[in-house]
Structure 1
Amino acid sequence: MKPGRGSQLKSHKVEIVKGSPFLKTAAIFGANAGGKSNFIKAIELGKYLVLHGTRADELIDYTPFRLSAENKKKDTTLIYHILCNNKKYEYGFSYNDERISHEWLHYITRKTTYIVFSRNQEQSISMPYLQKLNPKDDEFQFLQFIAKATTPKQLFLHELFTHNIHDNTTDVSDVEAVLSWFTDTLKIIFPETPYKQGVVLKAADDEDLKLVINALLSFFDTGIDDVYLKDVEFEKLNIPLNLQRSIKADLSKSEKGETFGALNLDGDLYLIRLFDGDISAKMLMTIHHQNESGAAEYFSLREESDGTKRLFDYIPLILDFIYGDNVFVVDEMERSLHPTLIRKILEIFYLYSNDTPSQLIFSTHESFLMTQHLLRSDEIWLMEKNEGISSLYNIDEKFNPRYDKKLRQSYLDGSYGAIPKLADNKELVEFLNKVKLDHK
């Protein structure tokens, strides 16, 4: 998300790699079914294929554009521009359901582009920059062995991820930096995605973290005064036996003597603990105080509003805003939340990530956010669908609005496109009028 020519909200423009400035936010607006969620799903799919790969007995998760006979048979291409390790990278790949046709990782400086590795349609993988950094015969032979073992359905980057490349080479820091970006930095959140719920649960037993979370709950006017973990019997949670075994197996993978996990069950949130082979559970409770007596009343999370539940998802995200070095991609950020709360979350992000390399990309229908007092015009993107084809464009590049332009009203008036076009459908209007007359 490169900055445009505008100079407003200068703190939203960041440059952690010299010559590669970027914007802290990208807000994607558009009509329902316009393609916003699919755009974010594509980002998630690339991450999944890098980290999890494709099973040998399965096809690659591939969805062609079926409304065009020509494009229906074309490969899909995903490209990521990555700033990490104080360097700029481009990683991308093209694929269909049966094979990865192209794949590349480039390290880009202001003067030169270094090809870390490149894969062509014949499945040949060249590694000129990796070979330069790892000149010993045994090192490069090890990398070549991985390349030759990479099947047509598997990403080479995924194969590097699953092998112990660090201990068998001199310098694979570029590959490791990009893999770390996919594993630790890129965080994708959908409306039903619980984000790091374990952080909220553990806060109930961590006084310092509890102070922060309680302050945020108070700031967002939830009416919650405190959080508490109530001991419950794990066996009485009505968890199917196969799920109980799965939970225990997952927690047992940790080499630590004591491990924790979060479980969302029937709208309630539980902290599951495994210690010396025994499982115990605690249920998250919220504490409110009665108006008259001030006596404490305990509520389960299931009894709280949808908006409060969603805030419990956003609180760990806000903490990660402060910690920095994250790229958040959030679909329908306003789901179940009042527009004022979303604005406050954005303001917190700008305030506390001012000196950290974090970025927030989100889709929304909330036009209330479309103001140049909150977002730069080059941070506002519109997704419009015509004849089944979704196009993403930047409001600053396409319309070049003045710094004092009231963008929201122009958008709702249709001046910028990317809004529902129901009123233009004469057949629908005529049909509804007919239904109305027939009903009389």
Structure 2
Amino acid sequence: MKFSRSMLVRFVVKNLFSFHDETEFNLLPGKTKRLNHHKYKVNQVEVLKLSALYGANGAGKSNLIRSISLLKKMLLDSSIPTAFSTQKFRLSKSTGNEPVEMSIEFFTHSFIYYYAVSINEGIILDEYFSSLAADGEDEMIFHREYKDKKTSISFFKEFEEKEENKTLKKIIETDLLKTNQPLFSLLNTITNDHFIHIKEAYHWLNENLTIIYPDTKAAGLVLAIDANSHFKDFAVDTMESFSTGITDLKIEAKTIEDFLGRGKEKEIEEIKAELKNNPEKKIGFMANNTTKENVAVVNDDGEIMVKRLVFEHIGEKEEKFEFSFSEESDGTKRLLEYLPVLNNIISQSQTFIIDEIERSIHPLIVKELVSKFSADEVTKGQLIFTTHESNLLDQEIFRPDEIWFAEKNIIGATKLYSLSDFKEHNTIDIRKGYLSGRYGAIPFVGNLHDLNWHKFQDEAK
């Protein structure tokens, strides 16, 4: 069976959050010959498997991830998020009337796909989707334009030539498509062999592009450990390797009545009704306000069960003790949330984007995790993250084209640039260079020496 890569190639954003001008982030390799196993190749195009984005607080690192997340949300939900109107670049008077522009390029199922959209005042002004096949032929799949309060659509030649498709096109233009609805999302719901590329691209966005924020919870972790013995063994072995004190991960199952207790009859009935009335939805998740964890709610042959993780530790005299999620440290919880990432990025062709990868985790553990992924020559996934952790700035871990910086210019707009722009030799200590300000993207703290903070304090009484 032929293995199919699925990877992010590039992302471009304009006039959203702290991005004023058109700003590009990409995973295209430069000329360096080091760490060649970091390059994945599809259709004669090479894409990097790893990237780290550095920058001072407020420089716009997280805004890049938020922008990607918003585009994904728009295409999956088939509607324009309000942020496209309320979160335009605000430090210029002209941008309020200008559209938000975004584009994304990725490959999956042996095709490279490119999607671009322009949005203003809740209306999609321009939308474009194309594919690049293995033979190098670039084909426009659709182009949608809004002019004079009217939407027009152009499809690829083969589609336009068939008479029945002309009728479908007219129906889409006049009856089905709304001005605030992505054509990409609408076509994904229509059964037509000509839209197979749409469905493959939609699947990549939905299943292969995962974005993790500092407060993201690994909702599926309970079920993954419960159903997959190999993943459980991987999870236990990983947690033991990090000296968390955890020696086993167990699943505790209770009826929903026992779990929620008395006084929750109405909530119990609502949950039961939701799962029983939707046979295809056998699994749900809900927050446990006591332990601050997400627990799995499962329809098990008509009986609604709640499953949660229990952590086994070994005490004195080799006795076993069980701990709840709330009793574990923040660092341990964060590592648990990374378990599906670590497992999938090794064995599956998926793209994971993590904001603040070092949150609540010791710097040495973060470096070990990234180093292991960097050194592994048979990984299948792609890891992109933002960080402040300078210990990762090591040319044994990263290629220069895998390290990016975010910095704001004189008008407060974020610009992105790569370490490869500086053409550093592979023997240079890039961590030292970064901390000394050689590459920019660090906080300017010189004025703190002149700050007389005592004058702001009340006199002692």
TM-score (norm 1): 0.88
For residue 154 of structure 1, the aligned residue among 169, 181, 190 is 181
Q: Which 5+ residue runs of structure 2 have no aligned equivalent? A: 1-26
For residue 370 of structure 2, the aligned residue among 343, 346, 351 is 346
Q: How many residues align?
A: 426
| Change in CA separation of 1:378 and 1:133 when aligned onto 2, cut-off 3 Å | same
SS of 2:311's partner is strand
Letter in 1 for 2:412: G
Q: Which 5+ residue runs of structure 1 have no aligned equivalent? A: none
| Change in CA separation of 1:366 and 1:247 when aligned onto 2, cut-off 3 Å | farther
Letter in 2 for 1:115: M
Cα RMSD after superposing both structures: 2.8
- Matched with 2:38 is 12
- Matched with 2:249 is 227
Deviates more, 1:119-128 or 1:41-50: 119-128
**Alpha-carbon contact 1:64-1:73 (below 8 Å) kept:** no
- Matched with 2:383 is 360
- Matched with 2:444 is 421
1:112-151 pair list within 5 angstroms: 112-122=137-147, 123-129=150-156, 131-133=157-159, 135-148=161-174, 149-151=176-178
For residue 271 of structure 1, the aligned residue among 272, 292, 296 is 296
| Change in CA separation of 1:379 and 1:205 when aligned onto 2, cut-off 3 Å | closer
- Matched with 1:210 is 232
TM-superposed CA distance for 1:86, in Å, is 0.8
TM-superposed CA distance for 1:343, in Å, is 2.0
- Matched with 2:397 is 374
- Matched with 2:104 is 80
TM-superposed CA distance for 1:330, in Å, is 1.0
**Alpha-carbon contact 2:52-2:387 (below 8 Å) kept:** yes
- Matched with 1:108 is 132
**Alpha-carbon contact 1:326-1:359 (below 8 Å) kept:** yes
- Matched with 2:11 is none
- Matched with 1:313 is 337
Q: Measure, in 2, the Cα distance between the counterparts of 1:112 and 1:208.
A: 41
Q: Measure, in 2, the Cα distance between the counterparts of 1:271 and 1:287.
A: 19
Q: Measure, in 1, the Cα distance between the counterparts of 2:77 and 2:105.
A: 20
**Alpha-carbon contact 1:201-1:284 (below 8 Å) kept:** no
TM-superposed CA distance for 1:67, in Å, is 0.9
Q: Measure, in 2, the Cα distance between the counterparts of 1:253 and 1:97.
A: 39
Q: Measure, in 2, the Cα distance between the counterparts of 1:140 and 1:242.
A: 52
TM-superposed CA distance for 1:437, in Å, is 12
Cα deviations across residues 150-205 of structure 1 (Å, max 9, x unaligned)? 111111111112x232xxx333222122111111111111111113x323444146
| Change in CA separation of 1:355 and 1:278 when aligned onto 2, cut-off 3 Å | closer
Letter in 2 for 1:185: N
Q: Measure, in 2, the Cα distance between the counterparts of 1:113 and 1:202.
A: 39
SS of 1:177's partner is helix
Q: Measure, in 1, the Cα distance between the counterparts of 2:372 and 2:272.
A: 38
Letter in 2 for 1:36: K
| Change in CA separation of 1:422 and 1:204 when aligned onto 2, cut-off 3 Å | same
| Change in CA separation of 1:415 and 1:142 when aligned onto 2, cut-off 3 Å | same
- Matched with 1:192 is 215
User: Is it true that 1:296 corresponds to 2:320 in the alignment?
Assistant: yes
Letter in 1 for 2:31: R
TM-score (norm 2): 0.84
What percent of counterpart residues are identical? 28
**Alpha-carbon contact 1:222-1:308 (below 8 Å) kept:** yes
- Matched with 2:453 is 432
- Matched with 2:7 is none
- Matched with 1:181 is 204
TM-superposed CA distance for 1:250, in Å, is 5.2
SS of 1:164's partner is coil
| Change in CA separation of 1:71 and 1:249 when aligned onto 2, cut-off 3 Å | farther
Q: Measure, in 2, the Cα distance between the counterparts of 1:276 and 1:205.
A: 16
User: Is it true that 1:29 corresponds to 2:48 in the alignment?
Assistant: no
TM-superposed CA distance for 1:364, in Å, is 0.7
Letter in 2 for 1:14: Y
